[in-house]
């Protein structure tokens, strides 16, 4: 930084272009580090609540397990409810990106649709029944889960099924009916009583349904 004077003799500081660039780069790097730390903490929050649910977990407990201060978490969100919603939104962004990447590797339209469906099952398998119970217990999380996870997932899967149908790889299907069936199936595979009665895990139940869907869609 150099000190310059205006024509009237009043001293003012001015930044050389290189100084401006350096300050901008430093600010950008700090912001990037802050964003990375924020994402890391949100991922950590999601890992905890996915296993234990969130209704009985406090900010203090989350901070202790994540080895940060409660104040740090409150910088991310003003309340536990908001923190949970942000963690779910972050999880959804990561999950949908991964599902798209996996699906894109499919060699056919029908394979891309099936890979997408199975990827969804793989990502939701670690989510506990306690987590799902808490999702349904509160209107804010129920709405966030439905609009940010369930509906986008079904919309994209149905779109991929339509593409497979257009490619003449599967038989014609009523996609509106299929979407509604999958909505109901999602509830069944998260029902503890149903799973115990069937002797299946959530993941195994989803794979059974996957087999039923694709056997039904296969062209005779």
* Paired strand residues for 11: 5
pLDDT digits (tens, 9 = 90+) for 30-71: 555 488 999 999 999 999 999 999 999 999 999 999 999 999
pLDDT of 7 above 70:
no
In a domain, 121, yes or no: yes
Put simply, whether the predicted model's pTM sits higher than 0.95 gets the answer: no
- pLDDT at res. 212: 85
pLDDT of residue 19: 54
Backbone angles phi and psi of 189, in degrees to 5: -75, -5
Mean residue pLDDT of the chain comes to 86
Assess if residue 2 is contained within a domain. Answer: no
Domain count, the chain: 1
Is 84 within a domain? yes
pLDDT at 5: 46
- The number of angstroms, rounded, from the C-alpha of 57 to the middle of its chain's C-alpha atoms is 20
DSSP per-residue letters across 130-148? HHHHHHHHSHHHHHHHIII
Query: Is 8 inside any structural domain?
Result: no
Judge whether 4 lies within some domain: no
Q: Which residues of 13-47 are buried (b: 16+ CB within 10 A; e: fewer)?
A: eeeeeeeeeeeeeeeeeeeeeeeeebeebbebbbe
**Is the residue at 6 inside a domain?**
no
Q: pLDDT at position 64, please?
A: 97
**pLDDT tens readout for residues 108-167:** 999 999 999 999 988 998 899 899 999 999 999 999 999 999 999 999 999 999 999 999
Six-digit token string for 36: 């990375």
pLDDT for residue 201 is more than 60: yes
The verdict on residue 59 lying in a domain is yes
**CATH number for the domain that contains residue 213:** 1.10.357.10
Does residue 2 register a pLDDT over 70?
no
Nearest-Å Rg of the Cα atoms of the chain is 24
Structural domain including 148 reads: 13-217
The reply to whether 5 falls in a domain is: no
């Amino acid at each position: 930084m150099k000190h310059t004077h205006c024509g009237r003799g009043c001293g003012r500081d001015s930044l050389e272009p290189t100084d401006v660039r350096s300050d901008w780069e430093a600010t950008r790097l700090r912001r990037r580090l802050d964003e990375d730390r924020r994402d890391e903490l949100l991922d950590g929050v999601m890992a905890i609540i996915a296993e234990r649910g969130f209704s009985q977990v406090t900010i203090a407990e989350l901070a202790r397990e994540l080895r940060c201060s409660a104040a740090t978490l409150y910088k991310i969100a003003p309340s536990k409810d908001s923190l949970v919603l942000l963690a779910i939104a972050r999880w959804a962004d990561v999950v949908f990106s991964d599902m798209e990447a996996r699906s894109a590797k499919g060699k056919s339209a029908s394979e891309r649709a099936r890979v997408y469906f199975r990827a969804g099952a793989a990502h939701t398998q670690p989510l506990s029944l306690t987590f799902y119970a808490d999702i349904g217990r509160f209107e804010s999380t129920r709405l966030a889960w439905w609009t940010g996870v369930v509906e986008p997932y079904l919309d994209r899967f149905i779109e991929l099924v339509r593409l497979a149908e257009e490619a003449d790889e599967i038989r014609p299907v009523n996609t509106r009916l299929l979407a509604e069936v999958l909505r109901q199936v999602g509830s069944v595979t998260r029902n503890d009583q149903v799973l115990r009665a069937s002797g299946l895990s959530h993941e195994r139940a989803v794979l059974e349904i996957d087999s039923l869907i694709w056997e039904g869609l296969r062209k005779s």
